[in-house]
Each structure stands twice: as C-alpha cells, then as structure tokens.
Structure 1
Amino acid sequence: MAYALLAVRLLVGIVFAASATGKLRGAASFRDFQDSARAMGVPARLSRLVAVAVVVAECGAVVLLALSPGGAPGFVLTLLLLAAFTVGIIRTLRSGTKTSCACFGASTAPIGRRHVVRNAALFTLAAFGLAAGLSGAPAPTQAAGVLIAAFGALVGALLVIFTDELGTLFGDSAPHTTGRVRRSAP
C-alpha cells in the first residue's frame, strides 16, 4: 500500500504542477486560462480572481501532497479542484459552447468527453490516495520499490498531461475546429 500511495501522490502532484506551470508560463498563457474561465461561465468581473485562485490552489495541492504526512490535505484539495473542473467541463459541453482546453497551457483541442473521463480517473486516484493516506500507510523503505512507483507515476502523469495529443493521435471522435477557439479550465 505504501508504494501505491507514493505513486498516486507523485502522479497527482506532477499533474497539478504541470497544470499550474502551464498557466503561469507567461502572460498570454494566464490570459488564455482567464478567458477559459469566462468560457465556462465565470462572470468576466470574477474571471481574474478565479484564475488566480485556481493556480494558487493547484500550487497549494502540490505542496500539501509533497509535505503533509500521507498527503491527505493535498488529496482533499485536489478532489475539490477536480470536482469543480469537471462540473465546469460538463456544463460547458451541455451548453454547446465550443472552447478548447487550457488545462496545461495553450491548446487548440476542443473540450470533449475525454476531459471528463480524464478528470474522473484523476478523481478516483485522488480518492484512493486520500483513503490510503488516512489509513496511516507506512513510508516506503525499499529503493527499488520507490523507483518503480516514481516511474509508474511519471508515465501515468504524462498520459494525463497529454490527453489531448493522445486523443488526436488515436483518432478521438472529438469535433475538430478551425481557427482560434476560446480556452477552458482543466
């Protein structure tokens, strides 16, 4: 259980670190994310505040996952963020708004069901991590097990981060758009 918890802490931490980094890569990236918040229904007057709060919360989740015993506070924060992101994505899909995912920085890939599935998978992992963290699992002690957990976490995180690219590569049925589309949150 200790190695599974380590792998989940690393995977979720890497994903949220990449998400925050993508939004903070530059003024244009942050502006795109702020625009995505508006596309998902956040009032224009609140979009900057919401964008800042999301990035701060993502950074906070990474720190809490890394530093808190068992990572429980970090998992709670990631569960709240993932729930909010998923509700926003579902709401956007139901409204028929055509926008792209700015989850990890600029992207032209339109929001689709794959984003809901991705978030549901992350939510499930974070819920497992919370349960395992609260159970008081002992710290991993074998270097080989730590390396395997870290490698698995990295591979899993890359699959999550590159969801849009993998969807395109494998012929995902999401509608393709031409030109610039509005951005959306993870």
Structure 2
Amino acid sequence: MGYALLACRVLLGTVLVASAGGKLHGGTAFRAFVAAARELGAPARWARSIAIAVVVGEIAAALSLAAAPRGLAGFAVALPLLAAFTIAILGALRRGTNASCACFGVSATPIGRRHVVRNAVLITVAANGLALGAAGAATPTHLAGALAAVSCAVIGALVVISTDELAELFDLGSAPGPLGR
C-alpha cells in the first residue's frame, strides 16, 4: 500500500504544480485563467478572487503532498478543488459554453468530455490517496519499488497534463456530443 500512496502523492502533486505553474506563468496566463473562470460560471466580480484561491489551493495541496508524512491534507484540499472544477466544467458543457481550458495555462482548446474524464481520474487518485494515507499505509521500503512507483506516477501525470495535446494528436472527441467536445 505504501507504493500506491507514494504514486498517488507524486501523480497528484506533479499535476497540481504544473497547473498552478501554468496559471502563474506570466500575466497573460493568469488573465486567461480568470477569463476561463468567468466562462465556467464564476460571477465576474468574484472571478479574480476565485482564481487566486484556486492557485493558492493547488500550491498548498502540492506542498502538503510533498512534505507531510502521508499527504492527507494535500489530498483533502485537492478533492474539493477537483470536484469544483468538474462541476463547473459539467455546468458549462450543459449550457453550451465554448469556454477554453486554462487548466495548465493559456489554451484555446475548448473544454469537453475529456476534461471531465481527466478530472474523474484525478478525483479517484486523490480519494485513493486519502484512503491509503488514512489507513496508515507504510512507507515504501525498497528503493526499486519506490522508483517504479514514482516513474509510473510521473508518466501518469504527464499524460494528464497533456490531455489536450494527446486528444488533438489522436483526433479524439472531434465530433461534438451532447456534452460538447
């Protein structure tokens, strides 16, 4: 169980760092995230404050995942963040909004079902990590096992971070459906 907990911590922490970093990569990226928050349903007067809170939450969760013994607080912060993102995306898709995904910085890619699936995967990772940490998963004892867990987690994180690029590469979701692309 310790290797699975380690993998959850590394995967989720890497995604959160990339997400916060992308949003903070210059003023343009942050403004794009504020605009995306408005397009996803945040009231215009609160969009900037919500965007700041999201970035602070992502950074706090990532730091806790890296520093705390089991990362419990990081998982506990990430779960509602991910749930809120997913609810906002589902609402925007149902309204037919052409909001862009500024999840990892400036992007012209409109949100779609793949973003819901991606978030569902991340919610599952966070929930499993929280459960494993709360159950007292042991610290990995073998270096080879820990390296394998970290390697798999980093690869998984790169797939998550590259969702839009991979979808474009494989032309996934090019036909709009009832919930959008």
Common topology (TM > 0.5): yes
Amino acid of the residue matched to residue 98 of structure 1?
N
- Residue of structure 1 equivalent to 2:63: 63
Cα drift, residue 174 of structure 1: 3.7
- Whether 1:130 and 2:133 are equivalent positions in the alignment is no
Query: Could you tell me how far apart the structure 2 residues matched to 1:53 and 1:99 are?
Result: 20
1:84-95 counterparts in 2 under 5 A? Answer: 84-95=84-95
- Whether 1:35 and 2:35 are equivalent positions in the alignment is yes
Q: How many residues align?
A: 176
Write out per-residue CA displacement over residues 96-116 of structure 1, whole angstroms, 9 at most, x where no aligned residue. 011210000111211000000
Cα drift, residue 43 of structure 1: 1.1
SS in 2 for 1:140: coil
Query: Could you tell me how far apart the structure 1 residues matched to 2:101 and 2:95 are?
Result: 16
Write out per-residue CA displacement over residues 40-89 of structure 1, whole angstroms, 9 at most, x where no aligned residue. 11111111101100000000000111122211111111101000000000
Structure 1: where are the runs of 5+ without partners? Answer: 177-186
Query: Could you tell me how far apart the structure 1 residues matched to 2:52 and 2:129 are?
Result: 26
Query: Could you tell me how far apart the structure 2 residues matched to 1:152 and 1:3 are?
Result: 11
Cα drift, residue 166 of structure 1: 0.6
Query: Could you tell me how far apart the structure 1 residues matched to 2:54 and 2:118 are?
Result: 18
SS in 2 for 1:44: coil
TM-score, length basis structure 2: 0.95
Structure 2: where are the runs of 5+ without partners? Answer: 177-181
Query: Could you tell me how far apart the structure 2 residues matched to 1:77 and 1:153 are?
Result: 19
For the 8 Å contact 1:112–1:174, the answer to whether it is kept is no
1:134-153 counterparts in 2 under 5 A? Answer: 134-153=134-153
Amino acid of the residue matched to residue 118 of structure 1?
R
Write out per-residue CA displacement over residues 110-156 of structure 1, whole angstroms, 9 at most, x where no aligned residue. 10000000000110111110000001111112111111111101100
- Residue of structure 1 equivalent to 2:179: none
- Give identity over the alignment, percent: 56
Cα drift, residue 95 of structure 1: 0.3
1:70-85 counterparts in 2 under 5 A? Answer: 70-85=70-85
- Whether 1:160 and 2:160 are equivalent positions in the alignment is yes
Query: Could you tell me how far apart the structure 2 residues matched to 1:175 and 1:95 are?
Result: 18
Query: Could you tell me how far apart the structure 2 residues matched to 1:56 and 1:70 are?
Result: 20
Moved over 4 A (4+): none
SS in 2 for 1:159: helix
